[in-house]
Structure 1
Amino acid sequence: MTTLNIRIEENIKAKANKTLSSLGLDMSTAIKMFLSQVITENGLPFTPTNNKATLRDRWDKQAFYALKNGKIYKTGKDVLADLL
């Protein structure tokens, strides 16, 4: 048996403990289950997803970058000429 030490924000740990407790699990058991599934699946046992706020933030950053660094066209013909 070995010991695993991790650093994590207190609020995340508290929320996770509360959720796990409602499932009848402690943190150690949940982490053991997760690591066992990583081995079984040969990867993450779930598909990571972004919530709407994360996706919106990413889109805003991309849009801001495009506005700041993109090329400005006066007409649709100018756009087509540049594309072709």
Structure 2
Amino acid sequence: MPRDSTTEPGGGTSTLDRELEELLNGEQIDDGDHDRFAHYVQKEKIVESAVTGKPVRALCGKVWVPGRDPQKFPICPDCKKIYDTLRD
């Protein structure tokens, strides 16, 4: 089977695009308020995203690729509310 010109040995951009599409299951990466808030995400998902570049999903449902220091932003009020209910 001929290789796509964008596919490189060991996986290339086509493979990454397919994996990202499967990961999101048709959801859009959010360009909204993730820039204004720090969101709650499972720690292992943050590590995985840092290594692979795959997007993460916050408790509030936001999907994005983290890349900023969350300590510089206020906590997302929706994530905080959900987190507090989970702790009870």
TM-score bracket, normalised by the shorter chain, equals: under 0.3
Between Structure 1 and Structure 2, the one with more helix by share is: 1
Between Structure 1 and Structure 2, the one with more strand by share is: 2
Higher relative contact order (CA 8 A, sep 6+): 2
Larger Rg: 1
